[in-house]
Structure 1
Amino acid sequence: MTLQAQLDAFKTDFEAGKPPYNVPPSVIETMHRATAELIASGAAGRALKAGDRAPAFTLDDPDGKPVSSAKLLAQGPLVVSFYRGVWCPYCNMELQALQAALPDFEALGAKLVAISPQTAVNSRKSVRQNALGFPILSDTHNDVAASFGLRFELPDYLVELYKALKNDLPSFNGDPSWTLPMPGRFVIGQDGIILYAEVNPDYTRRPEPEDMLPTLRRAASVAA
């Protein structure tokens, strides 16, 4: 089953209010409203695209060790996936799909990192819960996400809904702001130029990991 098929199946059950979710229709309507408004804002169109230069970054892994994009790019192309947090089931399914594709990335000489605004404790939970073999990096305040054009502020009505659902982003992220990254996937070449970019303001939609393989093969052939 493809990643998107898994996401669609989960979304169908979640929005139907099936156990164990039991989500009332009013909650679903609020989530749909927020997604529609983010799409209409055109924010995704302002994110970095293929051909743009990727911002350099250094972020801490769950053990507090700094991970530098420059050092990773010295070894090969870099796949970067921005996600919302361990509390997001869609993100966890995406991380698992990326883990399954990791051997294919590594065979082409590429490194993979995932970036979220969550604290190190929650990043460790992401790694453990999804049995990940690649680094999860903490992007405090979503500053790196902002440099890629992904950061957005949640509208007040969505903040109130999250609070009612006990989804306390300031606690998850160690940051008082209510911001998140739009899910984004990038392949960065060793020269720092973005070779592949996929950003979607609808967090229930994610590209297949395999979609990046043609780009990685071309990068590998150039490096050879």
Structure 2
Amino acid sequence: MYRIGEKPEVGSIAPDFKLKCSDGDDVRLSSYIGRVNILLAFYRGAADPYSMRWLSRLSDDYLYFRSLDTDVLGISPDSVDKARNTATRHKIPFKLLSDPYFKAIKDYGVFDDLEDGDYAAVFLVDKTGRVRYKHVGIAPSEMPSNDELMETIRMIA
């Protein structure tokens, strides 16, 4: 049984991953290290309307996140095709990554073994690859506001 949000701890090195993006390319977290901060947004997938609202909220302020030298990566257990459809249908400007085997989801401690899916969670990884902030919730409605996230990003800059 997995413990919600047990790992990784704030201050620790973020687990690296290689996942397929909605555009079909492989994306590694390590490729961002030294360049930008990364906001990892774990969401339940296209079938969850709360997740879609959360992605839309993140999309609304994407350019502002970028102005803070931060990129956003959405991660769900959806297939690459579903992630592509989500990105197109909801006009998501950031990369949506497919984790159908729950590798990154488990590495970040957000696997829901009762539902065989993931919890909603957000991790802020700084340019050195360290987890600087995390919030794990049962539902996307429990995620911090964009304003809270931006304030946290400004604090680590």
Same-fold call, TM cutoff 0.5: yes
Identify the match of residue 127 of structure 1 among 83, 87, 105: 87
The answer to whether the Cα contact below 8 Å between 1:76 and 1:110 also exists between their aligned partners in 2 is yes
Cα deviation per residue 1:79-132 (whole Å; 9 max; x = unaligned)? 100011001000000000000111111001111110001101110111012111
Identify the match of residue 214 of structure 1 among 129, 151, 156: 151
The answer to whether the Cα contact below 8 Å between 1:61 and 1:135 also exists between their aligned partners in 2 is yes
- 2:136 equivalent in structure 1: 199
CA positional deviation for 1:42: 8.7
Q: 1:189 to 1:90 in 2, by over 3 A?
A: same
Q: Max radius of gyration: which structure?
A: 1
Q: 1:45 to 1:120 in 2, by over 3 A?
A: closer
Which protein has greater RCO, CA pairs closer than 8 Å, 6+ apart? 2
Q: Hey, which of these two has a bigger chunk of strand by percent?
A: 2
Q: 1:213 to 1:203 in 2, by over 3 A?
A: closer
Q: Percentage identity across aligned positions?
A: 24
Q: 1:140 to 1:45 in 2, by over 3 A?
A: closer
The answer to whether the Cα contact below 8 Å between 1:127 and 1:136 also exists between their aligned partners in 2 is yes
Q: Aligned residues, how many?
A: 157
Q: Hey, which of these two has a bigger chunk of helix by percent?
A: 1
RMSD of aligned residue pairs (Cα, Å): 1.8
Q: How does 1:56-135 map to 2 (within 5 A)?
A: 56-135=16-95
- 1:144 equivalent in structure 2: 104
5+ long unaligned stretches in structure 2 = none
5+ long unaligned stretches in structure 1 = 1-40, 156-178
CA positional deviation for 1:214: 2.0
Q: In 1, distance between residues paired with 2:98 and 2:5?
A: 25
Q: In 2, distance between residues paired with 1:110 and 1:90?
A: 23
Letter in 2 for 1:99: S
What is the TM-score when the length of structure 2 is the normalising length? 0.91
The answer to whether the Cα contact below 8 Å between 2:40 and 2:123 also exists between their aligned partners in 1 is yes
CA positional deviation for 1:203: 4.5
CA positional deviation for 1:52: 2.5
What is the TM-score when the length of structure 1 is the normalising length? 0.65
